Structures are given as C-alpha cells and as structure tokens.
Amino acid sequence: MENQDEKMTFRESWSVFKFIAHFLLPFKKYFILAFVFSVIATGLASIMPFVLSTFMDNYLTPMKATDAIIFYFAALYFVLNVINSLAFFFKWNFLQNGAIFVNQRIRQAVYRKIHTLGMRYFDQKPTGWLITRITNDTDLFNFWQMLFNALNSLISIVIAFVALFFVDKQISLIMLIFLPILILAVLIYQRISTRVYKLMLKKRSELNTKLNEYISGMRIIQQFRQEKRLGAEFEATNNDYFRLRKRVIQINGLLLSPLVNFLLAISIIVVLAMYSARSMHTIVAAGLIYAFISNVQIYFNPISGLMDSLSNFSNGMVASSRIKQIMEETEYAPAQAQTAEKIFDSSVKKIEQGKIEFRDVSFSYDGKNQVLKHISFVVEPGETLAFVGHTGSGKSSIINVFMRFYEFYEGQVLIDNQDIRDFSKEELRSKIGLVLQDSFMFVASVTDNIKMMNKNISDEAVKKAAEFVQADSFIKKLENGYETKVIEAGATFSTGERQLINFARTIVRNPKILLLDEATANIDTETEALIQSGLVNMRQNRTTLVIAHRLSTIKDANQILVLDQGEIIERGNHAELLAQNGYYADMYRIQNLQKEI
Ligand SMILES: Nc1ncnc2c1ncn2[C@@H]1O[C@H](COP(=O)(O)OP(=O)(O)OP(=O)(O)O)[C@@H](O)[C@H]1O
C-alpha cells in the first residue's frame, strides 16, 4: 500500500527498472524471437494490400486479368496470409511463454524471500497484503509484454510509415502531423488512467486484506454477531473497488479506441480529399488508394496498444517497486550458524545433552517496550521447568526467543553450554519440539500431518509415536484411520484431538528438548486424561520448558518460575513455592477453590 500514491522519482524508476531487468534477462531469447516474428507479421500485413492494389490497378481495371493471373495473385495472397498468421502465432507464443516464465520466477523469488524474513516482519504486514503482493503484483510485473507492446507499436508505426512514404511522399509527410497529436493524446490518457488505476489497485489490496481477516476470524465474527457490521464494511470497500474499476473501464472506453478512431477517420478524409484534388489533373489508381489507406490503418492501430502498454507500464512500475521492497527487506529471521556441508565436520555443533540456560536475557518486540527483563535460569538435561504468571507476563516470549522466532539483543541463551546462535537452524528445529496450544493441520492425511511430509519417517514410526502419546486410540476410530483426510486447518478435529496429533508429530522426530504451551481450552475429561498421560510420556528423558495454565499439571516440575511483567518474581519447586506463601501460593489456592466450586 505504501508508495502507491506517490510519484516515483527518476532515480527510483531507474533502480526499479534495473531490478526488473535482472528477472527479464534470462528469458531474452523469447523476447527477441517474439520481436522477429512480430516484424515479419507487421511487414507482411503492410505488403499484402500492395499485392491487391497491383492486381486491381494493373490487371482488373485495364481488364487484363486472365485465369492464370487471377490464380497467381490468389495463391500469392493466400501464401502471404498463411505466413502472416504463422508469424503472428509464433510471436504470440514466444511472448506469452516468456511472460509466464518471468512471472513464475519472480513469484518463486518473492516466496523464497518471505521465508527468510523474521516474525517481526509478519507482525507488521497483514496476510492479505502479502498475498496481494505475491499474486496480483507479480502479475502486474508483466513488463515483458508492456515493453514488447511498446516496442512493437513503434516498429509497426515505422514500417507503415515507410510503406506510405514509398507510395506517396507528400501525403505520407502530412500523416506525420498526426503523430504529435497522437502522442499528446497518449500522454493525457496515461496521466488520467494511471491515477485511477493506482487507486483501484489500492482498493483491491484492501479488499484482499479484509477478506483474509474475515475468513480466518470467522469463528469470532459469528460468536460476536459481527456479520452485519463487517458485511457493511466489506460492501463499502467492494463498492469503492467496483466504482474505481468502472472508472478505469470508462476512461479506457472513452479515450483508448474512440480517440484513435476519430483521428484515423480524419486522416482518411484528408487522404481521400488529397487524392480527389489530384484526380482533377491526373488519373489516380483506386488500388493504390486502397493500399495507402490500409497502411494508414496499420500506422494508427498500434497507437491504442501503445497507450495501453504505457498505462500498464506505470502500474507495473508501482507493483514492481513494491515487490522490490519485499526483496530488499532486511527484517530477517534471526541468524544461525550455517549448516556445514559435511556431517562429520567437527565445527558443526550438535545438541547432545539438552541443557538449557538463559543468562540475563532481556528482550523487546519493538525496541521500545521491554517484554523480558534480565531473565536467568538453568535447566539440566531431562529436567522440567515451568513458567507461570498472568496473561501478558512474558511466558510465550521466552519460548519465542528460545525458538529464535525473534532476535534478542541482551544476555545469552545457551544449549549444552554453547551459544544458541552457534547451532544451525536445522539442528535447532530437529532437536527442539514445539507444541503450541492449538496446532495447525494441513490438508493431507493424518499420517502426512504427523510426518509433516518428511519422507524419511516410516508409517511404522508414525504409529509408534501416536501410541506413545495416546493418540492412537482416537485415530484408529476415524473413518479411514491414519489415512483420514484432514480438511481446512483440521477444522473437523477437536482441540484435544488436534493436540494429540501434534504430540505425535513432535515425538516422531524424537527431539532432545520439548517446549510445551499447555492448552487452556476446555477439553473433555477423557481426552484431557489422554493428553496428560501423553505429556508425561513425552517429557521422559527430555529437557522440557512448559507454559503452565493449570498449576495442578506442573506439581512435579523440577523448577517453577513465576513471571510478572517480564520479570521472575518467584522461583522454586511446587513445595518450595507454596512454603514461600507468595504469588504462586495465592494462584494455587484460587485455582483449587475454583475447582471445588
Ligand atoms: N508479536 C508481538 N509484538 C509486540 N508485542 C508483543 C508481541 N507478542 C506479545 N507481545 C507483548 O509482549 C508481552 C508479553 O506477551 P506474552 O505473549 O509473552 O505473554 P504470555 O505471558 O505468554 O501471555 P499469555 O498467557 O496470555 O499467552 C505482552 O505485553 C504482549 O502484548
């Protein structure tokens, strides 16, 4: 959305152009071939009227057309037509292929780039905005066609003018007068249409952002009966979009063809008037007038194409500059040591024990508000540490920092006494299992959701993992067992079932460290019991950090840290904290009271 209404400076345009060239150049072969075929097609279109005019003036009018001559001209016209059609086909084919290759490449590049960006970037950008960039903007990035059309139009004008000049120098020079008028029309059109078009693109992006929000937040919308209000909001944006589209259509309808056709009609009148004036003194061949007027049409026709490509050109520049912005974004995911090529390389750090240490870690999401303040703790291999505290006290932020979703700038995070940044991303992801409150499921079978498309994991291992976390009993009861298809984000599974599948997904990778965000949602007692025993199994021999919402589930934790506004205010095991009779003891009493009620 940014920059959309601003005018690009020449320097900006030039740098955007260089950025585009980087994507176009690998496919220049298509461009050149399309151009060659286009010149052939236009050249032939320009010559064909002369074949007819020669026939008309030299044979038809003087009544010299024999069967052989008719056949010869018919055959010649036919062959030229076939070649012209073939050239047109090849031009179109090379052009379209080149365009889709370029689009595919840029879309891939943007998608890859997005994966390198950190959570801070995604916190700021609405999903719909990003989707618009990857889908619509990469389509608008059709510079290929714009450039081609512009060049092609210019060549057509030149070829047609040469043909006119060849027929009649004097009248062709008069035709030149129309050129500045046409250029002026092009410029006026471009000015008006670009402004409206940009507004239309902005509305489309807004529409996508809103749609994305509505669909992902449908549950809340229905729960709070927001359908009417949001419906009206969506309608208003949609209506704005509709009005702007209509205006674009009106401007194109009014200015594109009618203006060019109007000038074409005037020029034909001028041509006919001049030939009429000449016919007073000398004989004017009708065929020649036909050939001349045909070429006048070829001379004018590309102008509307040129107008179109020029307006698309500036829209393409805006879209490209937004894509360029994404490609140049530096809000990267936190850096990790690179994965070494060789597994036996001794410099590649491995997580062996699973000891975790935070040394005086402070952290902020936005560089202003400190969300974690001087956090220090050590978790020995195989031990469990639980975080408790108010909502917003910083529990999830510790997990975010440890998972390297966000970069921290103060203190040290260590695994097995090594700085966390010294491990490769792959090592961290494979040795740390993260189980969030509500796990996302993909459109695939239950087995594939547990494997997460990792082909190295066997079906046998999937089953074992599911049995281990107590997920097996409910999966077996599904219509197609492990092969049951999961639809849209696992909407047909209960929260508890999704969590059990998530446990299996985590455990099948046999992580050394577990990060658990305990579910707060109400789960039926039977599933709850399954989840609790699944959790006990998972925690065996694994270092575990758990965000606890129900204190009853962490009584056996080796350490419990109580957080308040990003600070550790109490620490100890369950018995020690109760003995301290502080915040934790209060929380425990309240929760017990609630249970009794
Ligand atoms: N992505 C983010 N960008 C900016 N601020 C954030 C972000 N995520 C969380 N915060 C802020 O950081 C603070 C700590 O949030 P955090 O999610 O760590 O709390 P929590 O203890 O896990 O809460 P809960 O129990 O509700 O999950 C809160 O004030 C929250 O508003």
Ligand 1 site-directed mutation target among 365, 370, 437, 549, most atoms within 8 Å of CB: 365
User: Mean pLDDT across the stretch 272-283?
Assistant: 86
Q: What would the 3-class secondary structure string for 357-374 be?
A: EEEEEEEECCCCCEEEEE
Which one has a higher pLDDT value, 148 or 580? 580
- pLDDT tens digits, 7-30: 677 888 889 888 888 888 999 999
Q: Are 441 and 493 within 8 A, CB to CB?
A: yes
pLDDT top residue among 570 and 519: 570
3-state SS, residue 560: strand
User: Alpha-carbon distance 222 to 586, whole Å?
Assistant: 37
Question: pLDDT category, 521, cuts 50, 70, 90?
Answer: low
Strand spans (E) along 380-512: 384-389, 410-415, 418-419, 432-435
For ligand 1, the distance from its centroid to the CA atom of residue 122, given in whole angstroms, is: 15
Main-chain phi, psi angles of 363, to 5 degrees: -155, 145
Average pLDDT, integer, range 495-518: 86
> Tokens 């109580």 belong to which residue?
562
d(CA 397, ligand 1 centre) in Å: 6
391 Cα–ligand 1 center, Å = 8
Ligand 1 center–CA 427 separation, angstroms? 27
Q: Which of 119, 361, 396 to mutate to test the pocket of ligand 1 (most atoms within 8 A of CB)?
A: 396
Atom of ligand 1 at shortest distance to CA of 549?
25
Q: Which tokens in the block code for residue 331?
A: 């809000």
Per-residue pLDDT reduced to its tens digit, 64-106: 889 999 999 999 999 999 999 999 999 999 988 988 888 888 8
Distances (CA, A) of 115 to 329, 333, 418, 484: 12, 8, 26, 30
Helix/strand/coil percentages in the chain, nearest 5: 65, 10, 25
- Give per-residue burial for 559-584: e unless 16+ CB within 10 Å, then b: bbbbbeebebebbbbbeebbeeeebb
Sign of CA dihedral 235, 241, 244, 245: negative
HSE-up of residue 213 (Cα within 13 Å, Cβ side): 15
Do the strands 384-389 and 418-419 form a parallel or antiparallel pair, or are they unpaired?
unpaired
Mutation pick for ligand 1 pocket among 373, 395, 583 (CB with most ligand atoms within 8 Å): 395
> What would the mean pLDDT of 527-536 be, rounded to a whole number?
74
Task: Give the pLDDT mean for 396-418.
Answer: 93
Length of the chain: 597
Atom of ligand 1 nearest to the CA of 563: 21
Q: Which domains does the chain have, with CATH numbers?
A: 10-327 (1.20.1560.10), 356-596 (3.40.50.300)
Taking CA atoms, 572 is separated from 248, 354, 390, 433, 448, in Å, by 68, 21, 18, 25, 41
Q: Please give the Cα distance from 168 to 278 (Å, whole number).
A: 12
Measured CA to CA, the distance from residue 572 to residue 562 in angstroms comes to 9
Q: Which protein residue has the closest C-alpha to ligand 1 atom 1?
A: 123
SS3 546: strand
Orientation angle between helical segments 169-216 and 257-279, nearest 10 degrees:
170
Tell me, in angstroms, the distance from the centre of ligand 1 to residue 398's CA: 10
Say whether pLDDT at 531 is over 80.
no
Q: Which of 55-59, 347-351, 441-445 comes out lowest in average pLDDT?
A: 347-351
Residues 6 or more apart in contact with residue 298 via CB below 8 angstroms: 42, 45, 46, 156, 159, 160, 163
End-to-end CA, the chain: 52
The pLDDT > 70 percentage for the chain reads 92
Q: Please give the distance, rounded to the nearest whole angstrom, from the Cα atom of residue 260 to the centre of ligand 1.
A: 60
Backbone angles phi, psi at 359, to 5 degrees: -115, 105
Instruction: Give the separation between CA 224 and CA 278, rounded to whole angstroms.
Output: 82
pTM above threshold 0.90: no
pLDDT-derived band of residue 166, with 50, 70 and 90 as boundaries?
A: confident
The pLDDT-based confidence of 341 (bands split at 50, 70, 90) is very low
Residue 279 has pLDDT above 70, yes or no: yes
Residue type, 547: I
- Spatial CA neighbour of 261 closest among 310, 305, 300: 300
Cα 331 to ligand 1 centre (Å): 20
pLDDT at position 474 over 50: yes
Nearest CA to ligand 1 atom 10: 365
Question: Within 10 A of 39 (CB to CB), how many other CB atoms are there?
Answer: 17
Going by C-alpha positions, the residue among 546, 274, 539 that lies closest to residue 402 is 546
Quickly state the pLDDT bin for 140 (edges 50, 70, 90). Answer: low
**What beta strand segments (E) does 156-271 contain?**
none
Question: Which residue matches tokens 């999401």?
Answer: 365
Q: Are 371 and 364 in contact (CB under 8 A)?
A: yes
Label residue 133 by pLDDT band (50, 70, 90).
Answer: confident
Task: Show the DSSP H helices in 252-345 as ranges.
Answer: 257-279, 286-327
176-188: b (≥16 Cβ within 10 Å) or e? eebeeebeebbee
Between CA 245 and CA 429 the distance in angstroms is 47
CB atoms within 10 A of CB 462: 23
Q: From the CA of 211, how far away is ligand 1's center (Å)?
A: 26
Q: For the segment 414-451, what is each residue's pLDDT rounded down to a tens digit?
A: 999 999 999 988 889 889 988 877 677 888 888 988 98
pLDDT recorded at residue 386: 94
Cα 494 from Cα 517, distance rounded (Å): 17
Atom in ligand 1 nearest the alpha carbon of residue 119:
1
CA dist., res. 136 & res. 207, Å (int): 12
**Can you read off the two tokens belonging to residue 423?**
């491990």
Mutation probe of ligand 1 site: the residue of 397, 402, 549 with most atoms within 8 A of C-beta = 397
State which ligand 1 atom lies nearest to the alpha carbon of 123: 1
Alpha carbons within 13 angstroms on the beta-carbon side of residue 314 total 25
- Residue nearest atom 2 in ligand 1 by C-alpha distance: 365
Task: Please report the sign of the dihedral spanned by the C-alpha atoms of residue 296, residue 297, residue 300, residue 303.
Answer: negative
Q: What is the mean pLDDT of the chain?
A: 85
The answer to whether 394 touches 566, Cβ cutoff 8 Å, is: yes
Pocket of ligand 1 (CB under 6 A): 123, 365-366, 371, 389, 391-397
Protein residue with its CA nearest to atom 25 in ligand 1: 391
Residue nearest (by alpha carbon) to ligand 1 atom 6: 365
Using the mean position of ligand 1's atoms as its centre, give its distance from the Cα of residue 392 in Å. 5
The residues near 183 (Cβ < 8 Å, ≥ 6 apart) are: none
Residue owning the nearest CA to atom 3 of ligand 1? 365
pLDDT at 282 over 70: yes
Closest to 198 in 3D by CA, of 415, 4, 331: 4
Q: Whose CA is nearest to atom 16 of ligand 1?
A: 394
| Count of Cβ atoms closer than 10 Å to residue 344 Cβ | 6
Note the Cα 459 to chain centre separation in Å. Answer: 34
- Asked if the model's pLDDT at residue 344 lies above 70, the reply is no
For helices 67-116 and 28-54, the axis angle rounded to 10 degrees is: 160
